[in-house]
Amino acid sequence: MQQSWLNNRCIHFLFLSLVGFLFIYKYGSRVSAYVPFLGVPYLGILYYLIFKLPNGITNARVTKIFIIATNILCIASSMIAFQYIDVNNLQVDRWSVITHYWDTYFAGNNPYSSTSHMGNYYGSYPFYFILSLPFYLIGEIGFAPLASLILFQLIVWYFTRSFDKVLYAFILSMACLCLPYEIVTRSTLFANSVAVLIGVLLFIRAWRSENFWKIILSSFLVGLLVCSRPIYGLVFLMLGVYAMRYHFQWRYAITATVGSIIGFIVPFLHLYYLYPTSLLEYNPVSFMTTHFVPTYFYGIYLVVSIFISLSIKKWEDIVGASALFLFFVVFCYALLYIITEGWNDAIFMHHIDISYFFMPIPFIVLILLKPWRPAANIER
C-alpha cells in the first residue's frame, strides 16, 4: 500500500532535524561562533539513528536493561540539575507561569491577573495549569517532562511492541534537544503534547467502538485538552473531519460535540464563579488574540487544518497530520517575527520562543518509529 505523504518519514526527519539544529544554532552561538558547525555532524548522526541503524540493537533482554538504565540515568541527572541549575538565572519563564498562577490562585486572587517572574501574562488556558498542579504541589515542575517521557515510551511500546523502538524513542527525544531543554528549564510543552497524543488515540478507539459512554468520555477529555492550548482544538477538528467522513453517525457526532464543549467549559467554571468581574478583564482569550499572532492567522490555521484533514485516509494518518499541522503553526509564528524583527533579533533577542517547536515532537518521533504493529490490534 502506498504511504501517505502525511506519514513520510523523510518529511518528519527534516522537521526533527530543523528543531535540533535551531537549538544548536541559537544556544551554541553563545559559546562560540564555530559551535553551530556541529550541526552538520549532528544531522549525520540523526540520519543514521533513524534510517540506517539496524532494527535490533541487541537481544530483547539487554535492550530492556538499556531502557531501564537510560531512564534511571536521566532521572538522576535531572535531579542533580534541579539542585544546581537555578531557573531564576535562565531567560525562560514557563516554570514561573505555572508557579505564579497557582500561588495567586491559592492566595485568593484571579490567577490570570498575575504575571510570570519576567512580567509576562499567561496565554495558556486553565486545564494547562491543572495538568501541572501535581508537580507544583510536590515543588518541582521539572518532574513533568520526566513523567511525560516515561509515558511517551509506554505509548511507543503500545504501538510497536518493540523494546528497540522504545529505546529509539528515548534517544530521539533527547537527540533533538527537546527533553534536555524541557527538563533544565522546567517546561511542560512536551508533556502537554503527549497528553494530546493520548487524547487523539483514546478518541479514535472510542469512536470506532461505537460505544456511547466511551465516546462521551473521550470527547470530554478532548474538550479538557483543548482548554490547555486552543490550537490543539484544530488537531481534534482534523480528527473530527476524518471521523465524520469515514464513520459518520448523527447521534455519535452530536454526543462528541456536546462532550467536547462541556469539557472545554468546565475548567473555566470555578474561575468565573470566584472572579466574575476580574476574569472579564484578565483572561487567556484576550491575551492570545493580541500578543501571540494576528487574529487572521487563526483563519489561516483553520483552512490549513481542514485541507490536511481531507488528506487523511486512515486513522494512522492522523498522527502524521497532527505533526505537520503543529509544525506549520509554530513555523508561521516564527516566520512572522523573523519578517517583522529580523533574523538576529527574532532568534537571539527572544522575540521567538523556539521551544514551541517541541509541540509536534511526540507525533514526529512516533511517525519516525514506523512501522507499527497491525492497526487492528491497536484499534481494539
pLDDT tens digits along 52-108: 665 555 677 888 899 999 999 999 999 999 999 888 888 888 899 999 999 999 999
Total-model pTM: 0.92
pLDDT reading at 380 higher than 60: no
Residue type, 276: P
Cβ-Cβ contacts under 8 Å for 117 (sequence gap 6 or more): 88, 93, 96, 100
pLDDT of residue 376: 42
Grid coordinates given for 156: 511507543
Domain ranges of the chain: 1-53+293-380
The pair phi, psi for residue 162, each rounded to 5°, is -130, 120
Q: Rounded to the nearest 10 degrees, what angle do helices 361-368 and 163-175 cross at?
A: 140
Computed over every residue of the chain, the mean pLDDT equals 87
373 vs 286: which has the higher pLDDT: 286
Note the pLDDT tens digit of each residue in 6-35: 888 889 999 999 998 888 888 877 777 777
Grid coordinates given for 379: 484499534
The pair phi, psi for residue 314, each rounded to 5°, is -145, 165
Of 361, 359, 364, the residue nearest 128 (C-alpha): 359
Of 295, 293, 362, the residue nearest 330 (C-alpha): 293
Mean pLDDT score, 150-170: 90
Note the pLDDT tens digit of each residue in 106-152: 999 999 988 888 887 888 999 999 999 999 999 999 999 999 999 99
316 vs 363: which has the higher pLDDT: 363
Note the pLDDT tens digit of each residue in 337-357: 899 888 888 887 767 888 899
3-state secondary structure the chain: CCCCHHHCHHHHHHHHHHHHHHHHHHHHCCCCCCHHHHHHHHHHHHHHHHHHCCCCCCCHHHHHHHHHHHHHHHHHHHHHHHHHCCHHHCCCCHHHHHHHHHHHHHCCCCHHHCCCCCCCCCCCCHHHHHHHHHHHHCCCCCHHHHHHHHHHHHHHHHHHCCHHHHHHHHHHHHHCCHHHHHHHHCCCHHHHHHHHHHHHHHHHHHHHHCCHHHHHHHHHHHHHHHCCCCCHHHHHHHHHHHHHHHCCCHHHHHHHHHHHHHHHHHHHHHHHHHCCCHHHHCCHHHHHHHHHCCHHHHHHHHHHHHHHHCCCCCCCHHHHHHHHHHHHHHHHHHHHHHHHHCHHHHHHCCCCCHHHHHCCHHHHHHHHCCCCCCHHHHHC
Among the residue ranges 182-186, 272-276, 353-357, 369-373, the one predicted with the least confidence is: 369-373
Mean pLDDT score, 226-251: 87
Note the pLDDT tens digit of each residue in 254-280: 999 999 999 999 999 999 999 988 888
252 close to 215: Cβ distance less than 8 angstroms: yes
